[in-house]
Amino acid sequence: MTQLPTSTDRKLGLVIDLDTCVGCHACVISCKGWNTENYGAPLSDQSAYGANPSGTFLNRVHSYEVQPEEGAAQLIHFPKSCLHCEDAPCVTVCPTGASYKRVEDGIVLVNESDCIGCGLCAWACPYGARELDAAEGVMKKCTLCVDRIYNENLPEEDREPACVRTCPAGARHFGDFADPNSNVSKLTAERGGMDLMPEQGTKPVNKYLLPRPKDKMEEIDILAPLLAPIALEPKGFMAWLDKTLEKI
């Protein structure tokens, strides 16, 4: 069994803003593309264009309709990937030591040459963040794009996870939680970043920012004058066009 480090030099991870995520799946596509072409075995697909397609993804986006106690129902888009937990059960159950947590930055990785595809780590992960690649027979998971963030051949602005770099809404943020002055630490403090399923005791590094309430009546009242029609009756060319269309 693999032992977890007692502490790590850094705590690299993500802050995901559920208030900003629009569910476009750009993070899913960029993650699939980068991790199929670079680190480790490619992420395979089975019967991609058949009746029952399946495949391996390191990042997925789920959408839920939520009814708050007050106000209108909201559609919440929920991205999910490995949370790089401080007390990662996927690491301690691994019988070959293939799963491990790095001391230098806290990233949880899989040494695919040692992975036997037993699936114990997937059973131990309470978040469903690990997937067995059917073609390679090894366990796959988010690496925080470890081959990007330290790659000095890339421009500095590209040295962040592909999902963060690609997000058009700016809903994903990458940084060091061990640094109280980092962008992710400040966001977590200012917006009350929360752990996913804290009752599991895994101490996930990644944090989520809760969505703000939407569609309050006072907001609608303020916008109402701006939504009023400019003219009740069409005039000029628009009046002629309206009458012409009525005859068709």
Query: From CA 82, how far away is CA 23, in angstroms rounded?
Result: 18
Q: Which of 63, 114, 65 is nearest to 91 (CA)?
A: 114
Helix, strand, or coil here: 91?
helix
Angle, vertex CA 204, rays to CA 36 and CA 198, nearest 5: 135
Query: From CA 60, how far away is CA 165, in angstroms rounded?
Result: 16
Helix, strand, or coil here: 63?
strand
Residue 170 tokens, joined: 């700016």
CA atoms within 13 A on the CB side of 98: 21
Residue 46 tokens, joined: 């089975």
Specify the pLDDT at position 239.
81
CATH class for the region spanning 12-213: alpha beta
Tell me if 84 sits within 8 A of 205, measured CB to CB: yes
Specify the pLDDT at position 199.
96
Specify the pLDDT at position 214.
67
- φ, ψ (nearest 5 deg) of residue 240: -65, -45
- The most distant pair of C-alpha atoms in the chain lies apart, rounded to whole Å, by 81
Specify the pLDDT at position 33.
93
Percent of the chain residues past pLDDT 70, beyond the cut: 91
Domain ranges of the chain: 12-213
CA dihedral 25, 124, 149, 180 (to 10 degrees): 100
Mean pLDDT by 10 residues, the chain (248 residues): 88 97 96 85 90 94 87 89 97 96 97 95 96 94 95 94 96 97 96 96 97 64 65 76 83
pLDDT in tens, 65-118: 988 777 778 899 999 999 999 999 999 999 999 999 999 999 999 999 999 999
pLDDT in tens, 206-220: 999 998 776 655 555
